[in-house]
């Protein structure tokens, strides 16, 4: 271990750690009951101990579902050090429950400032990992920038989210990524469920619970019609809202139009929306000129990875007053009396609002099942993966789908030999 590990684990930061651990464990037990994939993989790892002697560093949203992944890796024989990947998404009780495990050290704590956030990442890296598991690429970035001497000992990494994969691909294109990382986000079993259904359901639930307001009859502006935006748009229209989509990519804009949503630039949407939800993974999506157009009482929230989609500095500049209107809602009052309400400080709303629970358990079971088998793959077949971003092998993704279907008691067809041959041939015409 390096001497950077001055930052204390969560157990040393809480006053009543035993109570916190018990509550965290209770949350984890509920999650585990609904995570058949991770439980299946955990049984396999307990028997095979594929991670014996490995040190896994993780920067994730530390709540009950993630905790099951962390334990699954530890039960497979690894020493795991974990911290948050967002200052507001940690559940301290879950973090404390994890820290009680013999092979896990958890530094994650809710509400840390920037300095503490990065100290905790340094502390995790201080465990000198052989594998990294990221949600947003914080570990990979810091290891390359500040701990290049560790790279030689790192077998590889896995990345959970779109923004992390996007940053990794940019790094890879610059020739700067020096170890292999799996793009877990990009698998069908992750993206088609977690980004679409998970973000859709949990963002809407978090906003509704935080504000106690209805969707019906509202005009909801969804910025970005990617995987997350599609999920949000379809589910909020199912709640009887009028949906407006903003996009910068012509095919995605056309897709939204053909789905029956109104498509318009944000400059126009700003004047008609009641609720604004950004899902672009980009920055400065809602800025001063848009705030100037908005009506009194609008809600502003972000479901993209970083808190840079809504320009809160510009909003603070415009505002003459700012106060906490409810838990998790900051009202910015403008000179003419209009109040613009920002939920969860513009951080990803399904995880960072006080009532947020993140994605539904079943969805995270899929994403984390893929994460777990990716770590196994990195260690089992490390010689196959050079530095750079790698797609997850399709058979691993299928393996997770098959475990899930079996757990849900869903039978499905398989190709006959003749069909397989036909699908692989080119010489059968009319
Ligand atoms: P995606 O790449 O499929 O979609 C993003 C869309 O936003 C694209 O269609 C793009 O053209 C559009 N876009 C970019 N700039 C824009 C702008 N200025 N105005 C309007 N549209 C714009 O990405 P995906 O998978 O939907 O992820 C989006 C973000 O959500 C990422 O930051 C990702 O990491 C994050 N994410 C958050 C989750 C959560 O739990 N809240 C879960 C999964 C992903």
Residue range 72-96, pLDDT digits in tens? 999 999 999 999 999 989 999 999 9
Distance CA 270, CA 300 (A): 11
How many angstroms separate the alpha carbon of residue 107 from the centre of ligand 1? 28
Domains of the chain: 10-190+359-407 (3.40.50.1480), 198-352 (3.40.50.720)
Alpha-carbon distances of 380 from 374, 377, 386, rounded to whole Å: 10, 5, 14
pLDDT reported for residue 353: 94
pLDDT reported for residue 139: 98
Taking the CA of residue 249 as reference, the ligand 1 atom at the shortest distance is: 11
62: helix, strand or coil: coil
Distance CA 357, CA 375 (A): 25
pLDDT at 389 over 60: yes
pLDDT reported for residue 429: 73
pLDDT reported for residue 225: 98
pLDDT reported for residue 390: 98
Pick the closest to residue 128 from 112, 146, 96, 150 (CA basis).
150
pLDDT reported for residue 387: 98
pLDDT reported for residue 92: 97
How many angstroms separate the alpha carbon of residue 68 from the centre of ligand 1? 26
**β-bridge mates for residue 286, sequence order:** 310
Residues having CB within 6 Å of any atom of ligand 1:
161-163, 194-195, 199, 223-229, 246-249, 252, 279-282, 285, 303-305, 348, 350, 359
Task: Report the first-to-last Cα separation within the chain, whole angstroms.
Answer: 67
Pick the closest to residue 134 from 166, 92, 88 (CA basis).
166
pLDDT reported for residue 96: 98
Distance CA 64, CA 89 (A): 11
pLDDT reported for residue 273: 98
Q: What is the mean pLDDT of residues 221-234?
A: 98
The DSSP code sequence of 282-309 is -S-SB-HHHHTTPPTT-EEEE-SSSTTS
How many angstroms separate the alpha carbon of residue 59 from the centre of ligand 1? 20
Taking the CA of residue 191 as reference, the ligand 1 atom at the shortest distance is: 25
Distance CA 16, CA 427 (A): 71
Taking the CA of residue 306 as reference, the ligand 1 atom at the shortest distance is: 32
pLDDT reported for residue 81: 98
pLDDT reported for residue 6: 82
For 278, the enclosing helix (H) or strand (E) is strand 275-278
Q: Which residue has the tokens 């509400």?
A: 111
Q: Which residue has the tokens 């909801």?
A: 220
Residue range 232-290, pLDDT digits in tens? 999 999 999 999 999 999 999 999 999 999 999 999 999 999 999 999 999 999 999 99
pLDDT reported for residue 420: 95
Residue range 8-36, pLDDT digits in tens? 999 999 999 999 999 999 999 999 999 99
pLDDT reported for residue 428: 76
pLDDT at 3 over 60: no
Question: pTM for the full model?
Answer: 0.92
Among 86-90, 120-124, 128-132, the least confident range = 86-90
Q: What does the mean pLDDT of the chain come to?
A: 96
Taking the CA of residue 282 as reference, the ligand 1 atom at the shortest distance is: 15
The residue nearest atom 41 of ligand 1, judged by CA position, is 303
Taking the CA of residue 229 as reference, the ligand 1 atom at the shortest distance is: 26
Distance CA 94, CA 112 (A): 16
Name the residue of 88, 89, 195 whose CB sits within 8 Å of the most ligand 1 atoms, as the mutation to test its pocket: 195
pLDDT > 70 fraction of the chain, expressed in percent and rounded: 99
pLDDT at 132 over 80: yes
């Amino acid at each position: 271990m390096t001497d950077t590990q001055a930052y204390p684990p969560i157990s040393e930061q809480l006053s009543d750690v035993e109570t916190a651990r018990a509550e965290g464990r209770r949350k984890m037990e509920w999650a585990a009951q609904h995570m058949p994939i991770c439980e299946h993989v955990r049984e396999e790892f307990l028997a095979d101990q594929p991670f014996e002697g490995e040190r896994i560093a993780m920067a994730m949203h530390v709540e009950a579902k993630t905790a099951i992944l962390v334990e699954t890796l530890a039960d497979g024989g690894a020493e795991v050090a974990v911290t948050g990947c967002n200052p507001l998404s940690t559940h301290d009780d879950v973090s404390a429950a994890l820290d009680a495990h013999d092979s896990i050290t958890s530094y994650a704590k809710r509400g840390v400032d920037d300095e503490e956030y990065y100290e905790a990442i340094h502390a995790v890296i201080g465990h000198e990992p052989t594998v990294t598991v990221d949600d947003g690429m914080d570990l990979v970035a810091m290891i390359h920038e500040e701990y290049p001497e560790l790279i030689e000992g790192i077998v590889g990494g896995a990345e959970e989210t779109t923004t992390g994969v996007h940053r990794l691909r940019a790094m890879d294109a610059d020739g700067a990524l020096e170890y292999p990382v799996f793009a877990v986000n990009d698998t069908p079993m992750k993206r088609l469920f977690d980004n679409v259904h998970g973000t859709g359901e949990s963002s809407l639930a978090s906003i509704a619970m935080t504000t106690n307001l209805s969707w019906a009859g509202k005009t909801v502006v969804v910025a970005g019609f990617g995987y997350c935006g599609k999920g949000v748009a379809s589910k909020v229209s199912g709640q009887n809202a009028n949906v407006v989509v903003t996009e910068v990519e012509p095919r995605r804009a056309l897709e939204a139009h053909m789905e029956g949503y109104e498509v318009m630039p944000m400059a126009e949407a700003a004047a008609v929306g009641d609720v604004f939800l950004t899902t672009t993974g980009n920055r400065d999506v809602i800025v001063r000129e848009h705030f100037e157009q908005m009506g009194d009482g609008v809600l502003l929230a972000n479901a993209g990875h970083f808190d840079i989609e809504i320009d809160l500095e510009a909003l603070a500049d415009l505002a003459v007053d700012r106060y906490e209107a409810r838990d998790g809602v900051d009202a910015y009052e403008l000179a003419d009396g209009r109040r613009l309400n920002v939920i969860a400080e513009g951080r990803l709303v399904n995880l960072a609002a006080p009532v947020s629970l993140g994605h539904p358990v079943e969805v995270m079971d899929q994403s984390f099942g893929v994460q777990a088998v990716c770590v196994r793959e990195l260690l089992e077949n490390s010689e196959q993966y050079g530095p750079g971003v790698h797609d997850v092998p399709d058979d691993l993704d299928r393996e997770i789908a098959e475990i899930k279907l079996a757990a849900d008691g869903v039978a499905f067809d398989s190709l006959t030999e003749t069909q397989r041959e036909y699908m692989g041939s080119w010489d059968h015409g009319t």
